[in-house]
Amino acid sequence: MNKKRVTRLAEYFFTVWVIVTLNFLLPRAMPGDPFLYLSSDVGEEVIFSEEQRQYYLAYYGLDRPVGGQYLSYMSELLRGNLGHSLYYNEPVSHIILRRLAWTFFLVIAAVILSTFIGTVLGSISAWYREKWLDKFLFFNLIIMSEIPAFLLGLVLLFSFAAGLGLFPLSGAMTHFAGYENWWEKVLDILHHAFLPVIALTIARTGGMYLLSRNSVITVLEKDYLRTARAKGLSEKRVIFRHVLRNAMLPIVTRVFLSLGSLVGGAILVENVFAYPGLGHLMREAVMVRDYPLIQGIFLVVTICVLLANFIADFIYGKLDPRVNDYSETYGG
Amino acid sequence: MAGVLKLLLKPIKTIKKFSLLGKTSFIVILLILLVAIFAPCISIHPYNVSSGPPLSPPGGEHPLGTDELGIDLWAQICYGARVSLLVGFLTALLAALGGGLIGIVSGYLGGWTDKILMRIIDIMIVLPDLPVMIVMAAFFGPSLLNIILVLALFSWVFPARIVRSQVLMLKEQGYIKSAETYGAGAWYLIHRHFLPEVFPLVAVNMVRLTGRAVVAEAGLSFLGLGDPTSKSWGLIMHHAINFAGIYFTPFWKWWLLYPWLALTLMVISLAFISRELEKMADPRMGR
Amino acid sequence: MTADGKYLLEIKDLSVTYRAVHSPVKAVDGVSLQLRKGESLGIIGESGCGKSTLALGIMGLIKQGSIEGEIYYKDQKLTGLPEKKLKKYRWKDIALVFQNSLEVLNPVLNIKEQIGEPLKTHYNLSPPEIDQKVVKLLEMVGLNPKWRHYYPHQLSGGMRQRVLLAMALSCDPELLIVDEPTTSLDPLSKNEIVRLLQKLQKKLGFALVLISHDLGVIKKLTSRVMAMYCGQVIEAGITSEVLKNPMHCYTRGLLNSSPNLFKYKDLWGIDGEPSSGNSVKGCAFYPRCCQGEESCSQTRPLLKYVALERMVACHKGGIETFLRAEGIRKTYKLKNMEIEAVKDVSLEIRSGEVVALVGESGSGKSTLAHILAGVLPAEAGRVFYRNKKVEGRWATKMIGGMQIIFQDPFSATSHRMKVLDVVKEPLDIIKRGSKQEREEEAVKALQTVQLPVSPEFLDRYCHGLSGGQRQRLAIARALVTKPKLLIADEVTSMLDPSTQANLLRELKGLQNRHGFALLYITHDLHLARKVADKVYVMYKGEIVENGVSFEIFESPKHIYTKQLLKDVLSVSRDAPGS
């Protein structure tokens, strides 16, 4: 562990602390009496009952001094206690754990698919630069890259699920289905996840395509590629060991950096397909003003994204030998 | 007078250089802008009160049909354009001003100020913005102003980064260094050298920020977290998709389709315009 | 294998055309060369002359362009060979040491992998074998084997150059092409790399094609050399000969711009820029050539033998000889005594060349100068100006002929004449053009020597001018006939050091710009050392030594020259503050 890694780690801890503290401050910074708040939704005005109001006041310990509140909040958090949901009458962490896997599933599937497809198409495009195939891919993917995932999801939902009936309209599994064997269950899950994953993937592939195309083109013009060719290496080795190995670097960075926006997309897409992940849960929580649950989800999602980025930093350091050496000269 | 004329001519010249796709996009945005401005004139029906039978299909009295309360969709879309454009533009403006300022300060001062600001930017870029926006909207109430503020809070990092790197580059230029040797102060350098150089980049970036903000607002409204008093396109879609049995009726063919179409057209057009502009600002980007 | 073909590498009429944005650029234009086993060939030229493209062309690495002509390696035609087959030759037979840059090595692979990967591809060695070989290669190029675990960015420029060399030698190529091995290196690492290359070539016996614009490196490492201009070979020959006696104006220009060949001489670049397009119909160098004539722009000169082992592409057969003197003799009779002022002197001055005639006072320099210019008749011997025997005054009374400037500025111009009249006098005498035209020419000549041209000055009488001004005036008068050869007899000796410095620089500058030849007669070795391309040393009426200036000044052979240099240069070195 060198100095650079340590400072990086410290930065992540600091970020986590900022988010955790923000999470603590939010309900306390609410304008007016927070728990008299009215729902936004037109038509349905939810007014907190006195009972609920008292519950929240006690729950957040708003009657105690702020310092003490903060300490107990932090210690509870360290013990893994994210609070208690009033609506579900269950610890927040339990609810989140139940739903987390579905979101993970969507996000990871979309990341893998979009990165793979985007990189392959981007490399092909770069290789056949300015040929018709490149132009064709470029034009189509550039349009795809600009449509937000949930708008795409709506199209998919109404055409393939509602219109053609090829896919289920909502959920992650068929309710009360008695599966004969395990792969029938897997198939059912895949059947349900197909459209949401496709929506997320399509929305992301364009960006990955553009990035990898650009990246490969840049690498193709580098001096070291000429060196590699001069050495009489096989085409395979030149492409994989020299071109892709270098072109990969910005792609890896982007995969993780854009995770935040992908999570945002996933939240919306889950709501389009009523997919029982964290995004859908979050909306439910917002609708019923289940503050501890909202906060819990927020905390889990942000920390997951941060964690993923920390891993990315680590991987990147392994992939690019230059990173750790330049820290001294360029100050990171 | 001539200066003003030149300033007016410049964007026209820029647009002339657009590709066909870019020109089309520009016309689309221009149309949406006109619709937003003249919304009261071009929609006969009110956008918030029922004016006909509920869920009537497009045609006749209601060119785009009505929703479940019998409110004219065309009117809702016209007024929705106002919301989208307002949110998009104000967010972009706020983010560009704030981000631009922070970028200049960060790049020009360097040292600790720069380090701290860069760390904050690093964090903001990594953070998933939608969950934060949802939380903020949930706690602070979904007014249009709050939405704009939250969106701007998450958008300033992009212009800030662009401006900072540009200022860092400019700082190394001979003419800045020589101006400094003549005793030029920070304010002089900023308004005389940095701002003119940085402005086009920020202006280009603003188009992209507008697009982002429009999408984000639509997403929040779609989740039911938008300003309930403003009929934005996302909110129309929110109501449509939450209408029980929407999948099994033909209502979505207008209720959902038209706001969807309007939103997609606008987002894509903005994206294309910003792509064209970016390509002009840096020819290497669009190859 | 080489039974039939005597050459390891043979290139026939190779052209490389890049498909550029606007118009195609012909980077290599009809180059032919032959290289035997173990031979070394240098390729010199300004940047952009096509040197590196030629190297890439030999390797078959031209991507964005088309190739015409043929390349043979051991009788195997490489041009037109499919990529797959070509790969077998690359590196295993022909390897290339690329020009050093940060990105010439893959930044994310360590040194070992990059040196080792051709071994894997061409010999299919196992990892331990590769490691062994990499260690051996690194040791061979004088690099600690531990570096094989490092990455390119962790290496210094000199180390990277060694790695590039080790990489190129990994498959024991028979032909090594080295592209600018010493650019961007400090002098110390540069010398080390040159010595390393020398050692390795001796040890491994590969044939070497060395591309460099550093003539010092070329001189040390190659036996033959080719000079390229605009993608064409304009001169080829034995390295030492070419560097000593370039036969093409361009090659000479390269030599004159090289700081490391002869340290004391001033640097003079070649005027102008190489033409970028390939639309040039005639000689590509014509626009910058000092001896170019209208006819040069009509047809392209072919590379032809002009001497043994020397080829030049020039319509005039290389640098023209302007003045040739053979067996000049002159004896002065003083009372009963006969003084042999000039004894059987022969000399040669070529176009655009600065020849210094040095010697102590009374050695006969001025006499010789006067004979050459036809001021004094010779007793024996002949003088040829542009291959025509000089008889009478024809060579000095023409436009574009020969002119002499005398030592004493005060006697050289009449003090009773006005400035303008002095300068236009030669034109008046040969009756050239109208009065107006003559005056214009005179004014131009005055401007060239940086004298004022105000009516007031033109109207002044010479006796009111300083020595420096009058010497300039004399030069202006000589220049007004646009001479091709200027004989300057101690023109600065009567002037103070500052005026002398100004005048001399001006003269050399004029010479570089207009490209006339200059016979510069002086007793001042310091001055001669600064300006001369060639030196004739005269002692008691005889030329005791002559040759290229750096050879004469750095390793004189004749005892008199040695003595002269020792006296003059050591005195000045010892004298404080001189």
Would an 8 Å CB–CB cutoff place B6 in contact with chain A? no
Same domain, C18 and C159: no
Query: Does the distance separating the beta carbons of A325 and C154 come in below 8 Å?
Result: yes
DSSP for B236-285, please give it: HHHHHHHSTTGGGSTTHHHHTHHHHHHHHHHHHHHHHHHHHHHHHH-TTT
**Cβ neighbours of B267 in A, within 8 Å:** 146-148, 151
Query: Domain check: are C383 and C524 in the same one?
Result: yes
* pTM of the complete model beyond 0.80: no
**B78 touching A, CB under 8 A?**
no
* Residue B113: exposure state from Cβ atoms within 10 A (0-12, 13-18, ≥19): middle
Which residues from A are below 8 Å from B126, CB to CB? Answer: 15, 257, 259-260, 305-306, 309
Q: Do A162 and B135 touch (CB under 8 A)?
A: no
For chain B, how many residues are written?
287
In a domain, C332, yes or no: yes
Q: Please, which pLDDT band fits residue A38 given cuts at 50, 70 and 90?
A: very low
Q: Which chain C residues have a beta carbon less than 8 Å from that of A224?
A: 103-107
pLDDT of residue C417: 83
Q: Is residue B61 part of a domain?
A: no
**Could you tell me the residue range of the domain that residue C71 belongs to?**
7-93+173-185+206-268+303-316
Tens digits of per-residue pLDDT, A224-253? 998 998 888 888 889 888 998 898 888 888
- Pick A154's closest partner by Cβ from B138, B141, B256: B256
Residue C238 lies in a domain: yes
Same domain (yes/no): C375, C503: yes
Domain identity same for C426 and C339: yes
Mean pLDDT across the stretch B117-137?
A: 82
Q: What is the pLDDT of residue C577?
A: 39
Q: What's the CATH code of the domain at B191?
A: 1.10.3720.10
A260 touches chain B (CB under 8 A): yes
Query: Do C246 and C373 fall within a single domain?
Result: no
- B95-104, B161-170, C347-356, C407-416: least confident range: C407-416
Name the residue among A224, A234, A326 with its Cβ closest to that of C105.
A224
pLDDT at B160 over 50: yes
What tokens were used for A52? Answer: 């609920």
At residue C280, the pLDDT reads 62
**How close C168 comes to chain A (CA, Å)?**
8
Q: What is the mean pLDDT of residues C182-209?
A: 89
Q: Which residues of C touch A228 (CB under 8 A)?
A: 106
State the average pLDDT over residues C2-30. 78
Specify whether the CB–CB gap between B83 and B196 falls below 8 A.
no
Chain A interface disruption, residue of C58, C106, C150, C167, most A CBs within 10 A: C106
Q: Are residues C438 and C559 in the same domain?
A: yes
Check if C96 contacts A (Cβ < 8 Å): yes
**pLDDT at B284 (0 to 100):** 47
Query: Which of A331, A318, A223 has the alpha carbon at shortest distance from C151?
Result: A318
| Residue C198 counted as domain residue | no
Given this model, what pLDDT does residue C276 score? 57
- Residues from chain A that touch C110, judged by Cβ atoms under 8 A, are 321
- DSSP summary character for residue A159: I
- For residue A110, pLDDT over 90 is answered with yes
C41, C222 contact by CB (below 8 A): yes
Structure confidence at residue C578 (pLDDT): 36
B2 part of a folded domain:
no
Tell me if chain C has a CB within 8 Å of the CB of A218: no
Is the four-CA dihedral B183, B185, B188, B190 of positive or negative sign? positive
- Least confident piece of the model among C32-36, C117-121, C268-272: C268-272
C279 located within any domain: no
C104 and A CB contact within 8 Å? yes
Percent of chain C topping pLDDT 70: 93
With CB atoms and an 8 Å threshold, state whether A230 touches C154. Answer: no
Mean per-residue pLDDT, B181-191: 80
Enter the DSSP assignment of C90.
Answer: B
Q: Is residue C398 domain-shared with residue C506, that is, in the same domain?
A: yes
Residue range C490-502: mean pLDDT, rounded = 79
pLDDT digits (tens, 9 = 90+) for C213-238: 888 899 999 999 999 988 889 999 99
C101 touches chain A (CB under 8 A): yes
User: pLDDT band at C207, cuts 50/70/90?
Assistant: very high
Q: What is the DSSP string of A294-327?
A: HHHHHHHHHHHHHHHHHHHHHHHHHH-THHHHHH
Taking only residues 81 to 140 of chain A, the set having a beta carbon closer than 8 angstroms to any beta carbon of chain B reads: none
pLDDT on residue C277: 52
- CB distance A321–C151 less than 8 Å? yes
Predicted local confidence at residue C6, as pLDDT? 77
Tokens of A22: 């923000």
Same domain, C331 and C418: yes
Domain boundaries, chain A: 3-78, 94-330
* Cβ contact A298–B271 (<8 Å): no
- C485 against C317, higher pLDDT: C485
Task: Flag whether B152 is in a domain.
Answer: yes
Asked if B142 lies within 8 A of A309 by C-beta distance, the reply is no
* Residue % of chain B over a pLDDT of 70: 93
| pLDDT of amino acid C20 | 67
Kindly indicate the confidence band of residue B96, based on its pLDDT and cuts at 50, 70 and 90.
Answer: very high
Q: What does the pLDDT read at residue A291?
A: 80
Task: Using CA coordinates, name the residue in chain C closest to A238.
Answer: C117
Read off the pLDDT band of C177 (50, 70, 90): very high
pLDDT for C273 equals 66
Residue C383 clears pLDDT 70, i.e. is over it: yes
Q: What percent of chain A has pLDDT over 90?
A: 15
Say which CATH number the domain at C229 has: 3.40.50.300
Q: What pLDDT, on a 0 to 100 scale, did the predictor assign at position C221?
A: 92
What are the pLDDT digits (tens) for A129-147?
A: 888 899 899 888 888 888 8
Q: What is the mean pLDDT of chain C?
A: 84
Cβ contact C56–A241 (<8 Å): no
| CB pair distance less than 8 Å for C106 and A322 | no
- Taking an 8 Å cut-off on Cβ atoms, the answer to whether C121 and A231 are in contact is yes
Report the number of distinct structural domains present in chain C: 3
Candidates A41, A151, A298; nearest CB to B263: A151
Are C88 and C150 found together in one domain? no
Kindly report the average pLDDT of chain A as a whole number: 81
What pLDDT shows up at residue A198? 92
> Per the domain annotation, does C298 fall within a domain?
no
* A27, A145, A305 ranked by CB distance to B126: nearest: A305
Asked if the C-beta of A274 comes within 8 angstroms of chain B's C-beta atoms, the answer is no
- Residue B228 phi/psi, 5° resolution? -70, -20
Instruction: For residue C405, name the pLDDT band (cuts at 50, 70, 90).
Output: confident
In a domain, C464, yes or no: yes
| pLDDT (tens digit per residue) in B195-224 | 888 888 888 889 889 998 998 888 888 888
The verdict on C89 and C122 lying in the same domain is: no
Task: Confirm whether C54 is domain-assigned.
Answer: yes
Residue B236's alpha-carbon distances to A44, A287, B20, B138, in angstroms, are: 16, 17, 32, 20
The DSSP-derived string for A160-228 is IIIIS--S-SS-SS-TT---SSHHHHHHHHHHHHHHHHHHHHHHHHHHHHHHHHHHHHHHHTSHHHHHH
Q: Kindly list the partner chains of chain B, i.e. chains with 3 or more CB atom pairs below 8 Å.
A: A
Residue in chain B nearest A32 by alpha carbon? B140
Helical packing angle, A291-319 and A259-272, nearest 10°: 140
Residue C570 has what pLDDT? 63
Q: Please, is C22 exposed, middle or buried when counting C-beta atoms within 10 Å of its C-beta (0-12, 13-18, 19+)?
A: exposed
Nearest-Cα distance to chain B for A181, in Å, is 31
- Going by pLDDT thresholds of 50, 70 and 90, the confidence category of residue A47 is low
Integer Cα distance of C181 and C160 in angstroms: 10
Say which amino acid occupies B38: F
Residues C384 and C447 in one domain: yes
Q: Is the pLDDT of residue C365 over 50?
A: yes
**Span B20-30, average pLDDT:** 86
Neighboring chain A residues of B234 at a CB cutoff of 8 Å: none
CA angle C270, C275, C279 (to 5 degrees): 150
More confident residue, B227 or C147: C147
Asked if B94 contacts B263 with a C-beta cutoff of 8 angstroms, the reply is no
Whether A257 has a pLDDT exceeding 70, the answer reads: yes
Q: How many CB pairs under 8 A join A and C?
A: 79
Distance from CA of A13 to the nearest CA of C (A): 29
Chain B, window 229-268: residues with a beta carbon less than 8 angstroms from a chain A beta carbon: 237, 241, 247-248, 252, 256, 260, 263-264, 267-268
Query: What percentage of chain B has pLDDT greater than the value 90?
Result: 6
B287 vs A147, A217, A260: nearest CB = A217
Q: Which residues of B36-60 are buried (b: 16+ CB within 10 A; e: fewer)?
A: beebeeebebebbeebeeebbeeee
Q: Which of C105, C110, C122 minimises the CB distance to A232? A: C122
* CB–CB contact B215 A148 (8 Å): yes
**For residue C499, is it within any domain?**
yes
Q: What is the pLDDT of residues C245-256, one digit of tens each?
A: 888 888 888 887
Residue C30 and residue C117 in one domain: no
Backbone phi and psi for residue A290, each to the nearest 5 degrees, phi listed first: -90, 85
Average pLDDT over residues B97-109: 89
Q: Is C337 on the interface with A (CB under 8 A)?
A: no
First to last CA, chain B: 38
Q: Any CB–CB contact under 8 A between C109 and chain A?
A: yes
Q: How far is the CA of B147 from the CAs of A84, B138, B154, C428, in angstroms?
A: 28, 11, 11, 92
Give the model confidence (pLDDT) of C425-462 as tens digits.
888 888 778 888 888 888 888 888 888 888 888 888 88
pLDDT exceeds 80 at position C271: no
The answer to whether chain B touches chain C by having 3 or more C-beta pairs less than 8 angstroms apart is no
Contacts of B215 in chain A (CB under 8 A): 148
Instruction: Note the pLDDT of residue C305.
Output: 87
* Residue contact B125–A257, C-beta within 8 A: yes
CATH superfamily of A94-330: MetI-like (1.10.3720.10)
Q: How far does A245 lie from chain C, in Å, by closest CA? A: 8
The whole domain housing B27 covers 19-46+71-286
ipTM: 0.81
pLDDT digits (tens, 9 = 90+) for C274-292: 665 555 677 888 878 777 7
Residue-level pLDDT at B142: 74
Domains identified in chain B, total number = 1
pLDDT band with cut points at 50, 70 and 90 for residue A329: very low
Domain endpoint, select from C147, C172, C197: C172
pLDDT at B144: 83
Residues of C in contact with A237 (CB under 8 A): 117, 121
C304–A contact, CB cutoff 8 A: no
